Chains A and B, each alone.
Chain A
Amino acid sequence: MTQPLLSVRGLQRRFGGITAVKGANLDLCEGELLSVIGPNGAGKTTLFNLISGHDRPDGGTVRFGGVEVTGSTPERLAALGLARTFQHGRVFANLTVRDNVLMGTHSRMKLARPGPPLLGALRELFLALIRPPGVRAEEQALRREVEDILHLFGDRLIPRLDRPAYSLSYANRRRLEIARALALRPRLLMLDEPTAGMNETETAEMRTIIGQLKARGQTILLIEHKLDLVMQLSDRVIAMDDGAEIAAGTPAAVRHDPAVVEAYLGHRHMGGEQTPDAVALEASP
């Protein structure tokens, strides 16, 4: 068997009294789409933060691309080819759509290569100021690539290339964030609730887009509440509750797992988006 692209073992994270992630394990192979589901507060986002370097685990290991990256910085993981979006949306509000996506290419820029300490940074400053032909050509190429990426979203973002991100609609900001993550040409794309707050049409559109990415061979780790979407797109699903894995396997198996059904029903009183899903679970044969 080939080595998995991402491999998580026994990952733990405590916040004061509560343990948000209790020994998570997962393996993700190239080209696979793995979904993580679970009610609010299950620890999904914390798990994402631990994998992407935005938070440090209290225990366990993360290997990415065959390298141990536990407790690495987000910038190092980005350079290794890991891109993510954030549940509540984090676009650069005062940057244009174009510049937002260009920021996604940062870790691939030759100009921005780390180089030796201090000297690498000074070289970057110097080259940026004198702008030799090579530097200009790179910037041009990246700008063309940005438009290619944005075409994935039809005419949602292309007409707004030079608008600042704060002027976009909520759904467009979510799309922009995904575009920015794609600009990294990630080996692994991590999406945290990409359809949160979207209406049905927008959700369907997002499903098509994620489907297209998967068809291209993009490896994806997805957190999602809308179970229909999860069932249609995922190769495998992991269900979490209270920081622990309660079920894992094919979408159909996880869907009918009694622990999963109970977790969703148990949280029905919390309201929010999972209520219709819980009802759907209950109703499914």
Chain B
Amino acid sequence: MGAWLDYTINGLIVGNIYALLAVGLALIFGVSHLINFAQGSIYTAGAFIGWTCAQRLGTPLPVTMAAVVLGCAALGVVIERVGLRPLAGSARIAPLLATIGISFVLDQGLQLLYSPDPRSLPSPLPAWRIQVGRGTIGALDILIAATGLVSAAVLFGFLRFSRLGWAVRATAQDSEAARQMGVNTDAVNRTVFAIAAGLGGLSGLLVGMYYNHIDTAMSFQATLKGVVAQVIGGMGNVPGAIAGSLLLGLTESYGVALFGSSYRNLFAFVLLLIVLVLRPNGLFAGRQAMSPEPLTGTFIAPSRPWDVPRWAVAVCVLLAALLPFLPNSAYALQVLTNAWLYALLAISLTLVAGTLGQVSLGHAGLLLIGAYASALLALDSGLPVWLSIPAAGFVTAALGTALTWPAFRLRSHYVSIATLGIGEIVGLVILNWESLTHGPMGVTGVPPLTAGTVELDSPQASYWVALAVLVLLGLMQSRLLGTHLGRTFRAIRDDDVAARACGVSLDRYKGLAFAVSGFAAGISGAISAHLYSYINNETFTSQVSVLALTMVILGGMGNVLGAVIGAVALTGLPEVFRFTAEYRQLIYGLVLLLMIRFRPQGILGTA
């Protein structure tokens, strides 16, 4: 029984930490209908500011905490001013994508500053523990609980009794009306970002001390947890975010108790999906129709796509096909093979995110399914590789569509959150389903590409295979876009209410688009698996999903050729300029930010 008490205490402590993240997210969502995906990066920044103060400058704990809160609040203000305010008035999803770009930049900035090596951040508090029943509580637990309570109380007082707090509440209720009544909504946004960032940074510091471990890769999971907690409590609902966080902390803690620590995140994301599907307004909202607010989910800037003549495309393909005959092309071939595989992923994503308007952040999950399907079919079922790859395409189309099905009824950034969760779930199921997927060991010895008896494992052959598959699927997708299906997908993107009035069944056409998209992504993942010869559940992470989205935006949403160009640009250019890996992420983030801000229609224009 004592163990259970410990798990409960642990759940509540972790829940408190999530609450510090989620409250800020809820405040921001309340006033600006934005999910701040940079929240986790601020949390990491808070941990590192704390580490610098405590370990380098030797400050006492209260000073460290104050420095973290102030430093992160300043960071929040900068983010709001530079990254988001200029986007006021653009598509709803634009600021969300901008915060993703900002998080890339922040994470990589921290990594360059502090190196990716993990550090320890010991708690300066005394090590005593109080016996409670048969569990124990330590000084740090009490500090975390107290921080949570004090923050909540201060926040409550601020919102309730200060003038600025009143302005925040007014803006959250109706920002247009608030503006007309003379509320300075810029000041409100700035305040809210400062509060959110200050609390987020504090959360990072406390987590660092709790686990005595910080590293620059902890941002993404933190963002996800904060978002999950907020969805559970109801987007924009501050008390709901606290309750959702505690619930999430407890669920995870009990899940770990029952099944082991590798199940922690699986529980979190399954809970996320259940809430999104059954109670999209959160557990604590009354049963009402989903607010009609975030209607415009698409990131489609009105533009006419560039009409690239067919012969020009044909010439480019021909030149690409002849490249292996050039001397000394081995390095270029390797880079471009990778680019073609990314391009396959990008055309897959541009179909759903661009043409259909469902901005998926879970495409890495599709790559994983494709990679595992082909690897396991070839290894464990003995299927020849030239059959296992297309089979993996079909498996991914079917599984991917089935998994995304619950998200079909959602709109706008709810779709992005749900697909992000689904992508994470795929990785976690692969990690935990050992009997099928070999679990954390991964799959070794994936056979190389072959066609019948012909070995295709030379760099030239791999290059041609990837290029040929890309051309084939690219042509197929272009052809599809010219039919009534392309028209129907775009109609759903532009106005799903009007599409239904025309007799369009949303489920059917979303299903078809995700199936076609899943096929291409699955093939890309499958070919990659045979080229890498080793895969595990982290071969494709959510960072890959975001990178693919950056490619899609760079090329022009929905634009097949644009997706290919975006993929070549983002995989090729860093090679040309010989950027090291750390700088690459920084560049991806900056490209995403600049495109959203200055050329939302992408290079070739949205289609």
Contact = CB atoms under 8 A, between A and B. Distances in A.
B500 A103 contact: no
Contacts of B495: 90-93
A79 B503 contact: yes
B501 A52 contact: yes
A171 to B, nearest CB: 18
Contacts of A78: 500-503
A128 B501 contact: no
Interface string A184-195: 100000000000
Contact of B501 (A84, A99, A124, A125): A84
A125 B512 contact: yes
Contacts of A103: 487-488, 491, 499, 502, 504
Interface stretch (B134-142, B341-349, B475-483): B475-483
B508 interface: yes
Given A114-B505, A121-B508, A54 B490 contact: no
B317 interface: no
B516 interface: yes
Bin the interface of chain A by size: 35 or more
B512 A184 contact: no
A166 B512 contact: no
B304 A184 contact: no
A54 B491 contact: no
Nearest to B476: A129
A54 B506 CA distance: 13
Nearest to B398: A118
A74 interface: yes
A128 B508 CA distance: 14
Contacts of B606: 94
Interface in A88-130: 90-95, 99, 102-104, 106-107, 109, 111-112, 114, 120-121, 124-125, 128-129
A164 interface: yes
A92 B490 CA distance: 8
Q: Classify the secondary structure of B's interface with A.
A: helix
Given A111-B484, A128-B485, A166-B302, A75 B491 contact: no
A109 B484 contact: yes
Interface string A123-158: 011001101000000010000000000000000000
Interface string B514-538: 0110000000000000000000000
B6 interface: no
B122 to A, nearest CB: 53
B511 interface: yes
Contacts of A75: 500, 503-506
Contacts of A84: 501
Interface in B265-304: 300, 302, 304
B358 to A, nearest CB: 15
B480 A106 contact: no
A180 interface: yes
B498 interface: yes
Contacts of A166: 302
B484 A184 contact: no
Contacts of A53: 500
B210 to A, nearest CB: 43
A175 B590 CA distance: 43
B494 interface: yes
Interface in A228-258: none
Contacts of B488: 103, 106, 112
A111 B483 CA distance: 11
Interface of A: 52-54, 73-75, 78-79, 83-84, 86, 90-95, 99, 102-104, 106-107, 109, 111-112, 114, 120-121, 124-125, 128-129, 131, 139, 164, 166, 180, 184
